[in-house]
Structure 1
Amino acid sequence: MHTLYGDEARAKIWTLIKDIKVAMMATWDEDSHESHARPMMALETDDFDGTLWFFTGKHSRKADEIRDDHDALLTYADPKAMNYVSVTGRAALVDDRAKIDELWTDYAKIWFPEGKDDPNLTLLRFDANTAEFWEAPNAVVRSVSYLKALVTGDKPDIGTVGRANMQH
């Protein structure tokens, strides 16, 4: 497993996750020590500086768990490309009306029917620390590798496993 650092790490992770619209976000219940995961859609940005933004409800279980324990995990899956990423980081709730205006999309009205002024609306800021990724070769290369493995008995090349440290 190779490790990437800083800008190179952020660029690699962004390449793998930018087109995946929904991630699973796990947070932890301070009392039961159980994790709870739910699908979350990251808000559109042009680049990745280590921070991802989400809209969330101020009064949700997720918000309560983040207030108690800022550790969070995002997992991304792109089964078609066979790329998978898990990102650990710190989550925080942020009440920033200007940032909400900047990131607002009409799609968010599904959850926040009163729009940008919905009293339950807040931002969830996720600051990535580290990530692990599995990146498979394209479909043609995978197919050739599988065929070669059938003929030779060798294991196929199923991809690259890597680690990204985004804090350095």
Structure 2
Amino acid sequence: MPQHKEQKSDLSREEAIDRIWQLAEDIDMCMFVTWDGEYTRARPLSARVHRNENAIFFLVNAESAKNGQLERFPKVTMAWSNNSSYKYVTISGHAKVTNDRSKIEQLWEKTDEAWWDSAQDPEIRLITVAPDESELWDSPGKMVAVAKMVMSAITGAKPDVGDNAKVEL
């Protein structure tokens, strides 16, 4: 596994990891990016973030192009974005598609009824991602970030608009 230089941040490695997991859980919807052998493909999915299992889960349809892509190319990237507060997280890892009915039942939420009748729907599959690296961009908020960028434009100094950290998970 390649070693990545951790970025300059006021956060310790442990604080960055905590913040990454928390933001991914809080933001929920992510862009789930796969590779099809020619292009990257991204689609929005609701993430079930379970740090205690070191896993991120997704409920998906059995007949989906992404499932075939994951069989051939299991490395994925997930990107969470909270534009209103300038908070962003990416997590990369290895994904696997299964038909784990017990886990699907455990992860089932009322909102899933928009896509399937129940957790017993035979068309549901489970994608499990084991994360291995992540990056965080965490601003103190839009107003502070904008003010710092304006001051930077006036003074010519580079703005410090929050924490950026790249860590292995």
After superposition, the C-alpha distances for 1:114-155 in whole angstroms (9 at most, x for unaligned) are x11211111110111101121112345335424433543323
Structure 1 unaligned regions, length at least 5: none
Q: Distance in 2 between matches of 1:75 and 1:143?
A: 23
The residue matched to 2:159 in structure 1 has which SS? coil
1:27 aligned to which of 25, 31, 34:
34
Equivalent in the alignment of 2:25? 18
- TM-score (norm: length of structure 1): 0.83
Judged with a 3 Å threshold, the aligned counterparts in structure 2 of structure 1 residues 69 and 139 are, in CA distance, closer, same or farther, namely closer
Q: Distance in 1 between matches of 2:162 and 2:8?
A: 12
Letter in 1 for 2:134: A
Equivalent in the alignment of 2:161? 158
**Mapped contact 1:11–1:48 kept (Cα < 8 A):** no
**Mapped contact 1:94–1:122 kept (Cα < 8 A):** yes
Q: How many residues align?
A: 161
Q: Distance in 1 between matches of 2:114 and 2:97?
A: 20
What percentage of residue pairs aligned between the two structures are identical?
Answer: 26
After superposition, the C-alpha distances for 1:13-55 in whole angstroms (9 at most, x for unaligned) are 11222211210001111xx42111100001265x454311110
**Mapped contact 2:57–2:128 kept (Cα < 8 A):** yes
Question: What aligned pairs does 1:1-168 form with structure 2 within 5 A after superposition?
Answer: 1-2=7-8, 8-29=15-36, 32-43=37-48, 45=50, 47=51, 49-113=53-117, 115-166=118-169
The alpha-carbon deviation at position 79 of structure 1 amounts to 0.6
Letter in 2 for 1:59: E
- TM-score (norm: length of structure 2): 0.83
**Mapped contact 1:10–1:50 kept (Cα < 8 A):** no
The residue matched to 2:148 in structure 1 has which SS? helix
After superposition, the C-alpha distances for 1:98-119 in whole angstroms (9 at most, x for unaligned) are 2111111121122223x11211
Letter in 2 for 1:39: P
Give me the CA root mean square deviation: 2.2
Judged with a 3 Å threshold, the aligned counterparts in structure 2 of structure 1 residues 88 and 39 are, in CA distance, closer, same or farther, namely same
**Mapped contact 1:134–1:160 kept (Cα < 8 A):** yes
